[in-house]
C-alpha cells in the first residue's frame, strides 16, 4: 500500500504496544488504521463512535486516495473543524497525518468526548521514532515469548503439590485417615475437571467480557471453513466466543470434541489475513478433535 500523501512511499506495518498492527509512512510520518482499529486505543468507544458518526454527516471529498481501494477519501471534521481525519467509506479505514494523533491525545476532552490511550507515554510518535532508528534492511529483534506450556505445567504441578501438602498435614496433625485424604484429593480433581469448562465460561465473561457469537456472525469464509472441517472430522461445530482485545490470541477448551469452545480475540481478525485466521481456528479445532482439551481442562 502506498501513502495517500506521498503517493510513492510504501506504508510499513508497525506493531503497537496494544498489539495492533498499523501502517506507517517513514517519509511523512502518517498513519493508516484499518476499520475498527482506532477503537483499540480508547476506553470510551461509544463516545468515539458517536463523534465519528456525527463527523461523517459533514464529510467532504478530498484529492487523497485510499491506499487499499484507490478511491477518493472523505475528510471528517473533528474538534470543531480544527482537525480533519481522512476516511475511506468503502473499507472503514482512517488516515492520520503526522501529529494528528498527538493532537487528539492532548485535546481538551470537553471539545470532543474522546481520549485515546497512548501507545507509549509520548503517544504514537515515540514508537515510530524508535522504529525509524532501525535500518530498513536490519531485521527487527522481537522479544522472546515465555514458554507458556512450561509455565502452565508448573502452575498445575504447584497447585496439586500444595493440595497434596495440605492433605499430608491433615493426616499427620489432624489424624485424618489416609484413605479419606486420598478420596478427598480424587473428589477435588474430579470436581474441577467436571466443572472446568463452565468455570472457564464464567471467568471469561466476568473478567474479559467475552461475547458468545453464532457461527453466522463470523466472516463468511471462516464459516465455510469451520463447517467443512467439522463435517470431515465428524464433530459438532464448536461454540465461538470473542474477546474484545487487540492482542492476537486463540484457544479452545471443553470436555469432548462435541462440546468444545473456541475463543478468539478481535486482534486476531485485525492483524491476520482471512486465510491466516482460518488456519488458526482450524488449529484450535484440531486440539478439540485430538482430545487435547482432556489434559487442558483440569488447568
**What domains can be seen in the chain, in order of their start residue?**
12-132 (no CATH), 148-296 (3.30.2010.10)
pLDDT exceeds 50 at position 176: yes
**Short-list 80, 71, 77, CA closest to 53:** 77
Model confidence at 232, in pLDDT bands (50, 70, 90)? very high
Checking if the pLDDT of 131 tops 70, the result is: no
pLDDT band at 235 (very low <50, low <70, confident <90, very high): very high
Pair 47, 69: CB distance under 8 Å: no
Active site residue 284: yes
CA gyration radius, the chain: 25
Q: What is the pLDDT of residue 195?
A: 74
Does 200 or 143 have the greater pLDDT score? Answer: 200
**Residue 116: DSSP 8-state:** B
pLDDT the model gives residue 12: 87
Inform me whether the pLDDT recorded for 237 exceeds 90: yes
The confidence band for 3, taking pLDDT boundaries of 50, 70 and 90, is very high
| pLDDT at residue 286 is higher than 50 | yes
Share the mean pLDDT of the chain: 76
**What is the model's pLDDT at position 231?**
93
Where do we find the cell 484429593?
Answer: 185
Q: Mean pLDDT throughout 188-209?
A: 79
Residue whose entry in the numeric block shows the C-alpha cell 470532543:
112
Q: Among the options 100, 125, 278, 284, which is catalytic?
A: 284
- Helix (H) or strand (E) segment spanning residue 221: helix 220-233
- Residue 167 — pLDDT band, cuts 50, 70, 90? confident
Report how far apart, in Å, the C-alpha atoms of 170 and of each of 8, 161, 249, 264 are. 74, 14, 41, 42
Count Cβ atoms within 10 A of the Cβ of residue 288 and give its class: 0-12 exposed, 13-18 middle, 19 or more buried.
Answer: buried
End-to-end CA distance of the chain: 44
Please give the Cα distance from 175 to 180 (Å, whole number). Answer: 10
pTM equals 0.46
User: Is 34 a residue whose pLDDT tops 50?
Assistant: yes
Secondary element (H or E) of residue 279? helix 274-289
pLDDT at 111 over 60: no
**72-78 and 239-243 strand pairing:** unpaired
Q: If pLDDT is split at 50, 70 and 90, which confidence band does 297 have?
A: very low
Categorize the per-residue pLDDT at 128 as very low, low, confident or very high, splitting at 50, 70 and 90: very low
Q: What is the mean pLDDT of residues 211-227?
A: 90
Strand order in the sheet with 261-265: 211-213, 239-243, 261-265, 250-253
What pLDDT, on a 0 to 100 scale, did the predictor assign at position 280? 93
Report the share of the chain in percent with pLDDT over 70: 76
* Residue 123: pLDDT band with limits 50, 70, 90: very low
Amino acid at each position: 500500500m502506498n501513502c495517500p500523501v506521498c503517493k510513492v512511499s510504501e506504508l510499513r506495518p508497525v506493531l503497537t504496544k496494544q498489539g495492533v498492527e498499523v501502517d506507517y509512512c517513514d517519509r511523512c510520518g502518517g498513519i493508516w488504521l484499518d476499520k475498527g482499529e482506532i477503537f483499540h486505543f480508547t476506553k470510551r468507544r461509544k463516545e468515539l463512535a458517536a463523534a465519528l458518526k456525527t463527523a461523517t454527516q459533514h464529510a467532504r471529498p478530498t484529492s487523497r486516495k485510499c491506499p487499499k481501494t484507490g478511491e477518493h477519501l472523505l475528510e471528517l471534521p473533528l474538534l470543531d473543524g480544527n482537525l480533519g481525519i481522512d476516511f475511506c467509506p468503502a473499507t472503514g479505514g482512517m488516515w492520520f497525518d503526522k501529529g494528528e494523533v498527538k493532537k487528539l491525545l492532548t485535546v481538551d476532552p470537553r471539545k470532543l468526548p474522546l481520549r485515546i490511550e497512548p501507545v507509549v507515554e509520548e503517544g504514537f510518535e515515540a514508537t515510530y521514532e524508535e522504529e525509524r532508528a532501525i535500518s530498513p534492511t536490519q531485521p527487527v529483534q522481537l522479544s522472546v515469548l515465555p514458554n507458556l506450556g512450561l509455565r502452565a505445567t508448573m502452575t498445575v504441578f504447584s497447585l496439586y503439590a500444595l493440595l497434596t501438602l495440605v492433605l499430608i498435614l491433615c493426616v499427620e496433625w489432624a489424624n485424618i485417615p489416609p484413605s479419606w485424604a486420598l478420596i478427598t484429593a480424587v473428589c477435588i480433581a474430579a470436581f474441577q475437571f467436571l466443572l472446568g469448562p463452565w468455570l472457564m465460561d464464567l471467568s471469561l465473561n466476568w473478567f474479559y467480557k467475552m461475547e458468545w457469537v453464532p457461527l453466522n456472525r463470523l466472516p463468511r469464509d471462516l464459516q465455510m471453513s469451520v463447517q467443512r472441517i467439522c463435517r470431515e472430522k465428524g464433530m459438532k461445530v464448536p461454540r465461538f466466543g470473542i474477546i474484545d482485545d487487540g492482542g492476537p490470541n486463540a484457544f479452545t477448551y471443553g470436555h469432548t470434541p462435541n462440546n468444545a469452545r473456541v475463543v478468539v480475540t478481535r486482534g486476531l481478525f485485525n492483524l491476520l489475513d482471512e486465510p491466516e485466521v482460518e488456519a488458526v481456528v482450524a488449529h484450535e479445532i484440531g486440539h478439540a478433535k485430538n482430545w487435547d482439551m482432556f489434559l487442558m481442562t483440569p488447568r
